[in-house]
DNA sequence: CGCGACTTTGACAGATGTCAAGGCTTGTGG
DNA sequence: CCACAAGCCTTGACATCTGTCAAAGTCGCG
């Protein structure tokens, strides 16, 4: 069951290398990490609420999300994870998952035992730092989303989401210069933006009528990037975060 | 200028020890961290937006916040930091501050050079882990706030904020069983909750008329904790996060 | 074929934002 | 000490945004 798959781990390594500097030996150690694959259908939770886990989940394909819930069952998606993201790398240091992880599209993932990640941190301090840094970048992204929900209206929030995903997908080679595949339902978008499905529908219509974007047949078509970025007040800085070499 | 102050560092150590296990030697090393004190008046930014910093700020007294801004100047406070919090511990691995830090009340802080924190991480892997963990707990708190802003109404959000602060303050000995000092303006509360000052005022009135709490003369008086917790759907689990000993 | 979930739309309700005004506190300078 | 300005608190009236409810159409799927 447990095997190695350097090609899949390469996705994760690429992400780390975008913000951290790692030696050849460290990189090789990451590629050699053991794990096992798993497929999860859209809509299925693969880490439960409050569950104690002993492995972290690398997203290999598809789209996953972490979400919170209120007592009335309303959901709020807090983070979106695309291929290359280790969705709960932080579970290495906080193994009790505070919020569930769910497959939003059909997802392929590779589960990496904490023990292996932990061993890597012990052997290579620079790897430990890159993991820490990875969590901090997640924190910045959630913080950015929080500003959006607190201080922007529905249309700007939606524009912001699309801009962010467009860039993130582009970086991993999903999508083209015009748009990207986005196999989600409007109720799911509502849960990302803190809106109701009905209002998402209305807002999508407005953006379509304004010639900004079209969401159709599970694909986002961007008609006017500049207009979209302006509406979203989009500043990609928080996503790119080029490598920080201060201490390696 | 640079000196040591184990009593102030003890505040930070206490916080780490709530979630991480550290040896005597590691604890002593934290208490011995060098730094220098600084006073900041309410309303003043002590870390600017996009500024590259070379030290982390331990809050010694008062209340500080990290906030984002939209192009129109609207603010959203993303995190609140109380005494004992190292407000930007994450700057050790991501020194370019994505969002400014501001004193919300008058604040006393101690600035700890990155080099010292960094050296500690190198010598003591367990300390590095506890720093990583500390950032992840911040992430959980911001995620929780995100759920609140996305899926709850003004009254519940406000109740949630008060519940959270009541417990956090109680843990560090600020406040008593009835309430706590809270020297903030209604516009500042609005920025914490993603509301307008006018609506904060209305919501405070409703909670007062419902006999839940009173905010007067810079003090929160809790009249009905159970009612407040029910309105907030308050689950303190995400705050307490008792020590995770899995790997030390 | 029929069910179920999603999409789309309209009408309406409720929550929150905006604007405006008066009273209050606080700090500053004369 | 007083006058004044600035910012806060409080309230009301109104506008706007978003949620709620309902219905019909669409689509995929067993």
Identify all chain A residues contacting B78, using CB atoms and an 8 Å cutoff: 143, 146-147
- Closest C1' nucleotide to B187's CA: D8
Is A70 in contact with A61 (CB distance < 8 Å)? Answer: no
Cβ pairs bridging A and B (under 8 Å):
154
Optimal mutation site among B95, B146, B248, interface A, most CBs of chain A within 10 A: B146
Identify all chain B residues contacting A237, using CB atoms and an 8 Å cutoff: 98
Whole-number pLDDT of residue B248: 46
Whole-number pLDDT of residue A235: 85
Cβ neighbours for A118, distance < 8 A, ≥ 6 positions apart: A92, B247
| pLDDT band, very low/low/confident/very high, at A17 (cuts 50, 70, 90) | very high
CB-nearest partner of A151 from B70, B122, B244: B70
Hunting for tokens 């939003």 — which residue is that?
Answer: A104
Tokens, residue A167: 């860039």
Whole-number pLDDT of residue A76: 98
* Residue B69 to residue A114, Cβ atoms within 8 A: no
Q: How far is CA B224 from CA B88, B135, B163, in A?
A: 34, 33, 11
Whole-number pLDDT of residue A1: 83
Distance of C1' in D11 from CA in B48, Å? 37
Neighbours of A76 (CB within 10 A): 27
Higher pLDDT, A134 or B50: A134
Higher pLDDT, B215 or A246: B215
Tokens, residue A5: 């798959």
Distance of C1' in C7 from CA in A152, Å? 25
Distance of C1' in C29 from CA in A178, Å? 62
Whole-number pLDDT of residue B236: 78
Distance of C1' in C22 from CA in B213, Å? 26
| Over residues A29-36, mean pLDDT | 98
Q: What are phi and psi of A2, to 5 degrees?
A: -70, 130
| Over residues A218-226, mean pLDDT | 96
Identify all chain B residues contacting A68, using CB atoms and an 8 Å cutoff: 143-144, 146-147, 151
Q: What is the pLDDT of residues B38-89, one digit of tens each?
A: 999 999 999 999 899 999 999 999 999 999 999 999 999 999 999 999 999 9
Whole-number pLDDT of residue B240: 58
Predicted model pTM: 0.95
Nucleic strand D near CB of residue A106 (< 7 Å): no
* Residue B143 to residue A98, Cβ atoms within 8 A: yes
Is B64 in contact with B87 (CB distance < 8 Å)? Answer: yes
Residues in A 196-225 whose C-beta is less than 7 A from nucleic strand D are 196, 198-199, 203
* Residue B93 to residue A140, Cβ atoms within 8 A: no
Whole-number pLDDT of residue A236: 78
- Closest C1' nucleotide to B203's CA: C16
Identify all chain B residues contacting A136, using CB atoms and an 8 Å cutoff: 90, 93-94, 135
| pLDDT band, very low/low/confident/very high, at A248 (cuts 50, 70, 90) | very low
Cβ neighbours for A235, distance < 8 A, ≥ 6 positions apart: none
Optimal mutation site among B54, B147, B153, B229, interface A, most CBs of chain A within 10 A: B147
pLDDT, averaged in runs of 10, over chain B (248 residues):
95 96 98 97 93 97 96 95 98 94 96 97 95 96 97 98 96 93 97 98 97 96 97 81 53
* Residue B140 to residue A94, Cβ atoms within 8 A: yes
State the nearest Cα–Cα gap between B172 and chain A, in angstroms: 23
| Over residues A126-139, mean pLDDT | 96
Nearest-CA residue of chain B relative to A74? B151
3-state SS class at B171: helix
């Amino acid at each position: 069951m447990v095997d190695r798959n350097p090609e899949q781990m390469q996705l994760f390594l690429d992400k780390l290398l975008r913000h951290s500097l790692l030696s050849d030996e460290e990189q090789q150690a990451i590629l050699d990490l053991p794990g096992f694959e798993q497929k999860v259908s859209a809509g299925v939770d693969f880490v439960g609420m409050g569950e104690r886990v002993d492995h972290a989940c690398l997203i290999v394909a598809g789209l996953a999300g972490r979400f919170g819930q209120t007592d009335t069952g309303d959901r709020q998606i807090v983070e979106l994870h695309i291929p290359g993201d280790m969705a709960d790398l932080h579970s290495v240091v906080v193994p009790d998952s505070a919020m569930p992880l769910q497959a939003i599209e059909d997802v392929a993932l590779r589960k990496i035992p904490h023990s292996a990640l932990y061993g890597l941190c012990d052997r290579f301090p620079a790897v430990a730092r890159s993991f820490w840094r990875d969590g901090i970048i997640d924190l910045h992204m959630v913080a950015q989303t929080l500003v959006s929900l607190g201080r922007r209206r529905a249309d700007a929030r939606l524009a912001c989401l699309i801009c962010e995903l467009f860039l993130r997908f582009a970086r991993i080679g999903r999508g083209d210069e015009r748009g990207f595949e986005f196999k989600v339902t409007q109720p799911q978008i509502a849960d990302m933006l803190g809106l109701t499905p009905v209002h998402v529908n209305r807002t999508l219509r407005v953006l379509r009528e304004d010639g900004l974007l079209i969401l159709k047949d599970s694909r986002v078509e961007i008609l006017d990037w500049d207009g979209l970025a302006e509406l979203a007040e989009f500043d990609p800085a928080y996503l790119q975060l080029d490598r920080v070499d201060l201490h390696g």
